[in-house]
Amino acid sequence: MKRLLFAVLLMALPLAAQEAKKEESNAPSAGPRIQKLFVLKYADPVHVATLLSVFTGAVRTDSDLHALAVETTSESTLRAIEEAIQGLDVPSVGPRDIEMTAYLLIGGDSAGTEPSAMPKELDSVIAQLKNAFAFKSYRLMDILALRTRVGQRASNSSVGRPMQMGTGSPAPVTQFRINSAGIGSDETTVRIDGLNLSSRIPVQSIPGQYNYQDVGLQADVDIKQGQKVVIGRVSVAESALFVVLTAQVVN
């Protein structure tokens, strides 16, 4: 009986080998391997390789050489990978900042700021204010600069010039805050949301004595880049505080 089983096994082996060869012959051919090396200019090879995992094939990266090697079996797949790499290997848009400058001007009937102390870039603004209001003079109380990343909060504070010239009066203190700043779709407009400017201003009650007046301004502002715009007026005793704002996008 054992001899009979052994003989059956010997006869079955050649048949099994023939069936295996038939299966191999019927299996789809993998085709020749296609390889290509890509040297990237801007993108991170590791990040690009992760995205290329959606394609059939193998990708090897070298961060030091800023390159990746692709191996696949299909010309169409290789072309698709090449197009994907071209779309991914582009310069990234760097973060953009917005610079703002707030000029605080006091309009009143007392002596104004000496010409040399008033910034030249405010000449046109002062001319407009003189045409629009009855104040005899304008003085520069303070200049506050603020720089922020698009979409982020920012704040700054400053101690300005004394309100009374030549009397040793205390100086005003101002805080300038914004909730966020953005760039308009036309790239020429700056949008400032939640602008808050508050000042603590000393006001002379009698010669040599001062009381403090807290004034503030809140607004959402759209402003053309580079333009100087009067965004508000606040009464201060018998004078008025004018806030002039300019904004510029920088990379």
* pLDDT tens per residue, range 27-38: 444 568 889 999
Residues of the chain under the 70 pLDDT cut = 1-31, 92-94, 111-116, 163-168
Predicted pLDDT at 210: 86
Predicted pLDDT at 154: 94
Pairing, β 189-206 against β 173-178:
antiparallel
Predicted pLDDT at 13: 37
The model's pLDDT over 108-140, given as tens digits with 9 standing for 90+, comes to 887 554 544 788 999 999 999 999 998 988 989
* Long-range contacts (CB closer than 8 Å, 24 or more residues apart) made by 150-157: 150/95, 150/96, 150/97, 150/98, 150/181, 150/182, 150/183, 151/180, 151/181, 151/182, 152/180, 152/181, 153/177, 153/178, 153/179, 153/180, 154/178, 154/181
Instruction: Name the maximum alpha-carbon separation found in the chain.
Output: 132
Structural domains in the chain, sorted by start: 34-88 (3.30.1370.10), 97-250 (no CATH)
Predicted pLDDT at 173: 94
Predicted pLDDT at 64: 87
Predicted pLDDT at 25: 44
Predicted pLDDT at 5: 37
Say what the pTM is.
0.63
Predicted pLDDT at 167: 57
